[in-house]
Structure 1
Amino acid sequence: MSAESTPESGIPGESGTAGPRHRAKGRRRKPRGRRKGLLIMAWTAAGIVVLGGTGAGYVYFKLNGNIKSVDIDSALGTDRPTKVDNGSENILVLGSDTRSGGSNEKLGGGIDDGSARSDTAMVVHVYEGHKKASVVSIPRDTIVDRPECTDTKGDTHDAADGVMFNSAYSTGGAACAVKTVESLSGIRMDHYLEVDFSGFQKLIDELGGVTVTTTKDIDDPDSHLDLKAGTHDLDGEQALGLVRTRHGVGDGSDLGRIQLQQAFIKALINQVKHVDLFGNPTKLYDLANTATKAVTTDSDLGSVNKLMAFANGLKGISSSRMHMVTMPVEYDPADANRVIVEEAKAKQVWTALKNDKAIPKSATKGTATGEAGGVVSDS
């Protein structure tokens, strides 16, 4: 059962297993290897900024100073897909692993090489009226032809054929990631949101954890996570372990991890709706402070006021009105650890979004899924 065929998967439920609810006891082993971020958390963080924006004076300037932004439009110039004036918006949401010291260095496996990597990418398409959305996950292991691009420092990076998708970010940062996604999809990205590992973990802790139900045991020493089938209240470290695990469930692929991420996102969105932030001003500020520190945006969203206005336009979208799919891919015949774009089916996805239409079921039917669907579920 795939995430595409079960759009409600990942919403926390009160049943689904006979086991008792318990605080998960994740293995506290030293993390190693690459750590996987959850990109859509940038969107959730934007929603929290809406709440944090109720303050004034010092609070406003403090939060405003937290936000990092990049001028992607200036870097990429005019050689881009045309903006579509149909009331919809497309947002590229990335999760990054910046290894230049601090907590991200620890989460990235203790390697302080000054580099940055994107390990999850999602195109969020908000339909006209802003009452529903489609989310298309792009596997980091997808082999693509990366276009020439100019980064926000003005440096130009040569095109490269047959490279992994996530090399775009590590080569030229946000601007080159956007350029590559636009090349793949033929769709203009209206906005860019990025969240890092440490920000994700801290935000989950500030929220008091997230409740999920696992239908199967998950045991992955690499992500220091050991969960029995049942309902768990995950703290930030455990939540990060869940969304980054590859070898604990399914076939150990990046595709399987994407299904876990999509299910977790729906659980998170549903839980956030029930948090009484206005009844606790201290918690409200702490969440807003953490969220604004965690995100990097495009320059059009680079202030509290702009981010608030943007997030206000999204807050009516519930998890039940989010259709989540993975970009249609197939396993690379030359390397079973990589995938390649299923061109005809992927075109159906991008054409639907460009025309502000629903993604047809035929676009994802029969594509590679990673065999991890239904591991996190509400039933």
Structure 2
Amino acid sequence: MTRSSVHGEETRPGAVRHARGGRGGGEDGDGPGTGGDGGSRHGKGRRSGRRRTGRRHRALRWSATTLAVLILGTAGAGYLYYQHLSDNIEKGERNSGDSKAHRTEPNAAGQTPLNILLIGSDSRASDANVALGGGRDHRDNPPLGDVQMLIHLSADRKSAAVVSIPRDTRVDIPACTDPKSGEKFPATNTIINASLSRGGAGCTLATWQNLTGVYIDHWMTIDFAGVVSMADAIGGVEVCVNQNVDDRPKPGRDGGSGLYMTKGPHKVKGEQALQWLRTRHAWGSDPLRAHAQHMYMNSMIRTLKDQNVFTDTGRLMDLADAATKSLGVSKEIGTPKKLYDLGMQLKTVPTDRITMTTLPTIQDDQDENHLLPDGADAEKMWAMLRDDVPFDDKGTKGKGTGKDATGDKTTEKPSDDAAADSEIGVLVQNATRSTTLGPVRGRAGAVAEALVQKGFGKAAPDTSAALSEERTTVRYPSEDLAGDARRVADALGIPASAVRKSTDVSGVTLVVGADWRSGASYPKQKTPDAGDLPKNSNALNGSDTGKCMDVYERYRW
């Protein structure tokens, strides 16, 4: 929303509408005055009636003018407050990395899921953050994304899923460019929290897109001081521990957050809320820290719903001020109205249809302090997000919306005018490399040979470096090649939903993904059922109020 549109919507129509209402009241008031004209039947009543009518007109004109001034003043104040909120918001590029994910196609009802990446930064770039987060000698260090959660709002807006990736999980980070400095960072393989320092939140978003195959619509960031401000604005969030906890360094043990509380439920806000969210040692691991963060978020959502924030103007304004000061956002949602609209969409999801999870991981064989996505279980979660399958089983049973979220725009009805198989040129690319598995060597050549055996004599492997794609696709650059692409897919058993128009190719291109590592025919893919989460995803339902964190024995008192 532009400034002029805000002014136009909130000021002029309101003023004109009410001013006209004032004049209308005056005209209605002529009724008694007209009746007063009947006072001519009573002689002197005529003059008296005119005086009363004149005074009424003057009073009504005065009232209308005063009302108009008041409305204009209020609208002006509203505009100034809106501008204040707008000025609070820090905005940035949505994507600053090498990622080619595309928006998910709408379902049969024309609805699309909404994916938001929430990043908690350890930035010490202000006095407030230094005081809350560590020594001044780290003030100039690039920020790391220690908390990363993908919030998936289903296409029908009836359920929501959250997936956290522990900060020490090793992944592929693509080549990124810092949008502020212009500094370029080459692709690398390291722990995911480093992505924020290699091109900002847009680089972290690109990393997630490549890892998951999910198009991410927006990102939001929050730092230490922002967490404290938001916790104070909410008025406190209830958390719970099963034992007394003291997460401080002592002889022979590490510690860091400073969290200190007795067993049982506690309402935390301000710095204590930040301590809860940062605690790791006292819980025993980084995945368990993510679980504690999920408890906090669920409790915060329940608290906001109980407070009826969206119907309490005063509370909403306080939270809006705190939120816009605390959050950085991708620029396409960088206005108060768009953030409000986003909040209203999240508000529609019932608490018992919110599921918080942590990515299934295994220990990194290269570094015992690091983690890796746990192969099939990790891919199962990403498939559920791509296909919009609910993480809970409380909605419609069975599959998701059935749409495919692997890449470029799907052609609903490709042309059937295909060339003869022997005349169709096909470039086959090896994209079998995944986060946990290396590429299958010679895979492009093997699939190209399978096509030749089926009569596609012009099929050839791409000899460039192996790519990384979660799913196999057949891509084509223009409508006249749509039929050729469909013929290639049919010959190999690739579903029609994987045939996509793309500007990234110059001819029919078969991209053999990590989902097809062997065999001459594409393997059938099973879509998980609703609620069929991996057992090691540590799922937590939003309505579950009976959970408390266990404290690692060394940190009890």
- Rounded to whole Å, the distance in 1 between the matches of 2:388 and 2:310 is 35
| Contact 1:193–1:297 (Cα < 8 Å) also in 2 | yes
**2:101 aligned to 58, 81, 90, which one?**
81
Equivalent position amino acid for 2:267 in 1: D
Give the Å deviation of 1:304. 1.1
Q: What residue in structure 2 maps to residue 66 of structure 1? A: 88
- Rounded to whole Å, the distance in 1 between the matches of 2:214 and 2:314 is 41
CA pair 334-70 structure 1, distance change in 2 beyond 3 A:
same
Q: What residue in structure 2 maps to residue 39 of structure 1? A: none
Q: What residue in structure 2 maps to residue 56 of structure 1? A: 78
| Contact 1:151–1:174 (Cα < 8 Å) also in 2 | no
SS for the counterpart of 2:342 is helix
- Rounded to whole Å, the distance in 1 between the matches of 2:296 and 2:538 is 20
CA pair 191-277 structure 1, distance change in 2 beyond 3 A:
closer
The range that moved more, 280-289 or 260-269, is 280-289
| Contact 1:346–1:363 (Cα < 8 Å) also in 2 | no
Q: What residue in structure 1 maps to residue 297 of structure 2? A: 265
The reply on whether 1:313 has 2:345 as its aligned counterpart is: yes
Q: What residue in structure 1 maps to residue 548 of structure 2? A: 375
Equivalent position amino acid for 2:270 in 1: G
| Contact 1:220–1:248 (Cα < 8 Å) also in 2 | yes
SS for the counterpart of 1:193 is strand
| Contact 1:72–1:152 (Cα < 8 Å) also in 2 | no
| Contact 1:131–1:314 (Cα < 8 Å) also in 2 | no
The reply on whether 1:199 has 2:226 as its aligned counterpart is: yes
CA pair 282-343 structure 1, distance change in 2 beyond 3 A:
same
**2:239 aligned to 201, 212, 216, which one?**
212
SS for the counterpart of 1:223 is coil
**2:126 aligned to 101, 110, 113, which one?**
101
The range that moved more, 231-240 or 211-220, is 211-220
Task: Give 1:179-328 correspondences, 5 Å limit.
Answer: 179-221=206-248, 222-249=256-283, 251=284, 253-275=285-307, 277=309, 283-328=315-360
The range that moved more, 279-288 or 314-323, is 279-288
The reply on whether 1:127 has 2:154 as its aligned counterpart is: yes
- Rounded to whole Å, the distance in 2 between the matches of 1:368 and 1:319 is 18
More helix by share: 2
Q: Deviations over 1:72-111 (max 9, x none)?
A: 24x447x411210231111111111222222112222123
Equivalent position amino acid for 1:201 in 2: V
| Contact 2:154–2:390 (Cα < 8 Å) also in 1 | no
Give the Å deviation of 1:205. 1.3
| Contact 1:81–1:187 (Cα < 8 Å) also in 2 | yes
What is the TM-score of this pair, normalised by structure 2? 0.53
| Contact 2:177–2:198 (Cα < 8 Å) also in 1 | no
Task: Give 1:322-361 correspondences, 5 Å limit.
Answer: 322-359=354-391
Q: Deviations over 1:193-221 (max 9, x none)?
A: 11111111111112221222322332201
SS for the counterpart of 2:155 is coil
| Contact 1:328–1:363 (Cα < 8 Å) also in 2 | no
- Rounded to whole Å, the distance in 1 between the matches of 2:325 and 2:308 is 22
Equivalent position amino acid for 1:324 in 2: M
Give the Å deviation of 1:256. 1.1
| Contact 2:357–2:538 (Cα < 8 Å) also in 1 | no
Q: What residue in structure 2 maps to residue 40 of structure 1? A: none
Give the Å deviation of 1:282. 5.2
| Contact 1:329–1:368 (Cα < 8 Å) also in 2 | no
- Percent identity over the alignment is 34
Give the Å deviation of 1:279. 8.7
The range that moved more, 302-311 or 129-138, is 302-311
SS for the counterpart of 1:98 is coil
The range that moved more, 81-90 or 311-320, is 311-320
Q: What residue in structure 2 maps to residue 364 of structure 1? A: 534
SS for the counterpart of 2:390 is coil
Equivalent position amino acid for 2:278 in 1: R
- Rounded to whole Å, the distance in 2 between the matches of 1:374 and 1:207 is 21
CA pair 306-284 structure 1, distance change in 2 beyond 3 A:
closer
- Rounded to whole Å, the distance in 1 between the matches of 2:316 and 2:194 is 37
Equivalent position amino acid for 2:282 in 1: G
The reply on whether 1:178 has 2:205 as its aligned counterpart is: yes
Equivalent position amino acid for 2:349 in 1: I
Alignment RMSD: 2.5
The range that moved more, 63-72 or 110-119, is 110-119
Give the Å deviation of 1:294. 0.6
CA pair 132-368 structure 1, distance change in 2 beyond 3 A:
closer
Higher Rg:
2
CA pair 233-151 structure 1, distance change in 2 beyond 3 A:
same
| Contact 2:119–2:149 (Cα < 8 Å) also in 1 | yes
CA pair 159-105 structure 1, distance change in 2 beyond 3 A:
same
Equivalent position amino acid for 1:143 in 2: R
Q: What residue in structure 2 maps to residue 43 of structure 1? A: none
